[in-house]
């Protein structure tokens, strides 16, 4: 891991520990999602693209207080099958 990446990771971890999760949408201004917007976007993706499936994972440690288990999506069998 290079120094620039390590510093960015440290900065990100620090911000995640002290900054609360978003409660007000800032997508138009900053292109960031609230936890609820993230889930709604994933639900829309699953509805529009049946190959996508939801799987429970811990998304980010700082979000654990808002949503203990957040889902992220991944796809299987892409490519005409």
SS3 at position 6: helix
SS3 at position 55: strand
What is the residue extent of each domain of the chain?
21-81
> And the tokens for 43?
């639900």
- Taking a C-beta distance cutoff of 8 angstroms, is the pair 34, 25 a contact? yes
Instruction: For residues 4 and 22, give the distance between their C-alpha atoms in angstroms, rounded to a whole number.
Output: 27
For CA atoms 34, 38, 41, 47, the dihedral sign is: negative
According to the model, what pLDDT value does residue 64 have?
55
Q: What integer is the mean pLDDT of 9-36?
A: 84
pLDDT tens per residue, range 23-81: 888 889 988 888 888 888 878 877 887 666 655 444 444 555 555 555 555 555 555 55
According to the model, what pLDDT value does residue 58 have?
41
According to the model, what pLDDT value does residue 56 have?
42
For residue 27, which phi and psi values (nearest 5 degrees)? -65, -45
């Amino acid at each position: 891991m290079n120094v620039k990446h390590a510093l960015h990771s440290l900065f990100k971890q620090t911000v995640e520990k002290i900054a609360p999760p978003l409660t007000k949408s800032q997508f138009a201004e900053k292109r960031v999602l609230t936890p609820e917007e993230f889930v709604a976007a994933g639900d829309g993706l699953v509805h529009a693209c049946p190959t996508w499936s939801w799987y429970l994972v811990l998304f980010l440690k700082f979000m654990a207080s808002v949503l203990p288990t957040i889902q992220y999506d991944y796809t299987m069998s892409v490519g005409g099958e």
